[in-house]
Structure 1
């Protein structure tokens, strides 16, 4: 079935991270969309309807915490798991504050990235 490809949306202001995630996850068979800004976060997510979202903490305009909260308030989007994504030492506290479903610390390893996606899209 062609339509069973799982979709991942990655928000990060670091182009290298976006490229890396795209490379790894496309290789693993996912459809990827990336964005360097959390502007109009709800519209961005609605237009793609991913199965899982990675949310960086430091995003221009709306930070990761506010962006995640906005998604979790939206009835059409709140079911989508958000993985908080940061090099911050307090990542677990930030993820909790944002209402994210899980988190992945940077720098991450490829297996950890694939593992957390697999866990949340199934």
Structure 2
């Protein structure tokens, strides 16, 4: 069975690019342009991993990741925090994400990061 990835980003081009890369790698992909209903989306989609943008409406990536990580049912789902922000590492730590990826990223980097979090 294919692993499922849920991508949160408000940039449609990033959503399309990441979707294409991950589908090519054999993942099933769902996307969202907002993060305010993260718990409902995760409940519905049941992803194996999440790619979370920092600057996503309505509550932002940090708060959305915290909501997920504070939920007993979903805290086990690995979250890769990704952003063009200079301090991506500290933002990811602040959010409680499992890993981080700086934009722009190498396509292989995304693939390897996904493999890494899904193994762990």
State the TM-score, normalized to the length of structure 1.
0.96
Equivalent position to 1:8, from 5, 8, 17: 5
Secondary structure (helix, strand or coil) at the match of 2:45 reads coil
Please give the residue correspondences for 1:105-120 in structure 2 after superposition, counting only pairs within 5 Å.
Answer: 105-120=102-117
Distance 1:33 1:74 in 2: 20
Distance 2:38 2:3 in 1: 20
Q: Give the count of matched residue pairs.
A: 119
Cα offset, 1:102, TM superposition: 0.5
Distance 1:66 1:31 in 2: 25
1:22 aligns with 2:19: yes
Distance 1:46 1:21 in 2: 22
| Long gaps (5+) in structure 2 | none
RMSD of aligned residue pairs (Cα, Å): 0.6
Distance 1:85 1:62 in 2: 16
Quote the residue 2:54 is aligned against: 57
Distance 2:41 2:88 in 1: 24
**Cα displacement string for residues 59-89 of structure 1 (whole angstroms, at most 9, x for unaligned residues):** 1111100000000011110000000010000
